[in-house]
Structure 1
Amino acid sequence: MLQHFQWPAGHELTRLFHGRGAQFLDYRFINVDWLSPAALIILYSEVERDWLLELATAVKARLGDDCQSVQVQYRNRHMAPYELLLGEQLDEVIAQEAGLKYQLRLGRNQNYGLFLDMANGREWVAQHANNANVLNLFAYTCGFSVAAVAGGARQVVNVDMSKSSLGTGRDNHRLNQHDMTKVKFLGHDIFKSWGKLKKLGPYDLLIADPPSLQKGSVNIVRDYPKIMRRLSELVSAQGHALLCLNSPDLDVAFITQAMAEHAPDFSFVQQLQPSDIFINREPDKGLKVLLYRHG
């Protein structure tokens, strides 16, 4: 298995092994992330304890002194609990991606604070945000916002119902010594806030990265078209919409067909591809990121 790992050149935040992509059919039950200085094994089914400890020992040995902690998260168990396997108990780490710092929290929630498969999306935003007014819907911990401000955005508006996630987003901006006057954090229900969002626009770039299904909040099949119908009043002429979809049950056609119906004045520009480590045996089951232009 270790021969299929992509080992980091340094301290860069990265996925070491993407079993969920099914490139290696015998290992579809596992991902391994490098959150320097911690390594995280993510399991989607039970494994033998000896095998798990052997893997943890091999990963720590390969990463050397840079690896202070090896932990496992059991996604197959209720509440997705964490367990320390080797080294120190690290509950918080400051990790780095493309020169930017992010605060990650282990052991509290299913997701630790940044989606690694979106690295190419954050890179695109950083390269195209200069002097842009950016709207970041479902902002979570504001990874896109950090990339946008680093890329020279004049304003970013982050919207998410989770005030604790937005609080981490503030910390992420402060870690990177960003000008906080450029960043807004709105702990609102997006679908009840169109008027306020419109007043802060128009936007040169709108980013939507909704959860596939969030009980009591978001149903992607029902709600993504609601966002698409609002794009024309939110995005400036020749502005862009970056639409993300990470549901294994919905393919690219879900976005393209819905956009053709609900936002016909937007034209498709390109699909952003994830890095090689995230290549999926069935691409439509992985992350989809589509870029559209208004007009």
Structure 2
Amino acid sequence: MSIQTLLSAALAKRQAFLHQAAMAQTDCFRVFHGTVEGVNGLNIDRYGHAWLVQSFHQTLTEDELREIDTVLSQTAALPIIYNDRSLGHSRVLNALSPELQAFADAEQVMLENGIKFTSKLRHEGQDPLLFLDMRIGREYVRAHSQDKTVLNLFSYTCGIGTAAAMGGATRVMNVDFSSFALAAGNTNAALNQVAGVCEFVQSDAFPALRQLAGLAVGGRRKQKLPHYPKLAATQFDLVFLDPPRYAKSAFGIVDLINDYQGLFKPALLATKVGGTIVACNNVAKVDRQDWFASLVRCVEKQGRRVTSHQWLDPHEDFPSFDDNHPLKIVALTLH
């Protein structure tokens, strides 16, 4: 089946969603989730005033791009930026026309539920500046942040933190190692006039989290510890934990398959009694119920208990096989 036919079918399925998005002041969402909708590794998104087409397995041909253009232009006549990321390192391979390159390099602003987010379709990093499948997480945090203190770990461009501030949080601490990502987060806070409650801590997550949890900062064997900012032990009303699949530093190893507890334990220690920790795991092969059971065990080992929980499933613009989405998000209220 052609890309044109498959994309048309995906858009037809989303008509009610697209109407709801417009009513909710949202102009960033997925219109084609290729892994589920027929072309593995092809994603097509609306990012504000542009369409973003990304291919992760195979370079699109000129004919395929024309087919995509034909369908998208009927929905909204916007510039189409194609990022070919089909090599293993996922860097953008293809050149654009000078006009489109200038547009892709320029800062734009998009809307999600009326919140403004900075957008740049090509930049020094690899991924777009807002992960669209995390919309449900930002909605949850916004709805549960009134008069709360919020810790946003692995914050990237601070979408969660901005949503918390817009939801009435009294303090939001965003922690990320990337100065580039935190600069974008600062822009997001400023765009929404909530910079006054947002903090931006550039740090490896391990020392930041262990200090906040009141634990000693250690490192991997024979690794010299680099400088890290000093933080006072603090508990928050709401903690959001969204680590990458795998990362290694002198302070420790992030491994969502084999050692989620290495991060989850200090994160729950930094969560107040009666507070909520939102845990995320984006590895498809991690079983949802097994992972959840491991989180509950970790809580109980600390002499605490889960009093309630809520699963947060991505919206319908991110369809999944058998409702088993790779991104798993659960909000745990702790005693």
Considering the TM-score relative to the shorter chain, is it more than 0.5? yes
Instruction: Give distance in 2, aligned partners of 1:83 and 1:214.
Output: 30
Tell me which residue corresponds to 1:116.
Answer: 132
Q: Residue 114 of structure 1: CA displacement?
A: 0.6
1:174/1:111 Cα in 2 relative to 1: closer, same or farther (>3 Å)?
same
Instruction: Give distance in 2, aligned partners of 1:218 and 1:115.
Output: 20
Alignment of 1:194-273 (within 5 A): 194=209, 196-198=211-213, 199=232, 201-214=234-247, 216=249, 218-264=254-300, 265-267=304-306, 268-273=308-313
Instruction: Give distance in 1, aligned partners of 2:108 and 2:291.
Output: 35
Residue segments in structure 1 that go unaligned for 5+ positions in a row = none
Indicate conservation of the 8 Å contact 2:45/2:52, yes or no: yes
Tell me which residue corresponds to 1:75.
Answer: 85
Indicate conservation of the 8 Å contact 1:207/1:243, yes or no: yes
Indicate conservation of the 8 Å contact 2:30/2:44, yes or no: yes
Indicate conservation of the 8 Å contact 1:125/1:148, yes or no: yes
Letter in 2 for 1:3: A
Indicate conservation of the 8 Å contact 1:140/1:166, yes or no: yes
Tell me which residue corresponds to 1:171.
Answer: 187
Indicate conservation of the 8 Å contact 1:70/1:86, yes or no: no
Q: Residue 227 of structure 1: CA displacement?
A: 2.1
Instruction: Give distance in 1, aligned partners of 2:291 and 2:149.
Output: 24
2:9 to 3, 15, 20: 3
Aligned-CA RMSD value: 2.2
Indicate conservation of the 8 Å contact 1:259/1:266, yes or no: no
Tell me which residue corresponds to 2:157.
Answer: 141
Q: Which segment is superposed worse, 124-133 or 246-255?
A: 246-255
Between structure 1 and structure 2, the one with the greater Rg is: 2
Q: Residue 79 of structure 1: CA displacement?
A: 4.1
Instruction: Give distance in 1, aligned partners of 2:299 and 2:49.
Output: 44
Instruction: Give distance in 1, aligned partners of 2:285 and 2:43.
Output: 20
Instruction: Give distance in 2, aligned partners of 1:200 and 1:169.
Output: 24
Q: Share of identical aligned residues, percent?
A: 28
1:27 to 39, 58, 66: 39
More strand by share: 1
Tell me the alpha carbon deviations over residues 3-51 of structure 1, each in whole angstroms, 9 at most, x when there is no partner.
Answer: 212364446111111122x1x3x32231110012110111122233212
Q: Residue 195 of structure 1: CA displacement?
A: 5.2
**2:71 equivalent to 1:58:** yes
2:31 to 2, 6, 16: 16
Letter in 1 for 2:9: Q
Q: Which segment is superposed worse, 144-153 or 35-44?
A: 35-44
Q: Residue 127 of structure 1: CA displacement?
A: 0.6
Tell me which residue corresponds to 1:38.
Answer: 50
Indicate conservation of the 8 Å contact 1:56/1:85, yes or no: no
Residue segments in structure 2 that go unaligned for 5+ positions in a row = 1-5, 214-231
Letter in 1 for 2:317: I
- Count of aligned pairs: 288
Instruction: Give distance in 2, aligned partners of 1:293 and 1:106.
Output: 37
Instruction: Give distance in 2, aligned partners of 1:224 and 1:49.
Output: 43
Indicate conservation of the 8 Å contact 2:29/2:317, yes or no: no
1:231/1:51 Cα in 2 relative to 1: closer, same or farther (>3 Å)?
closer
Q: Which segment is superposed worse, 83-92 or 197-206?
A: 83-92
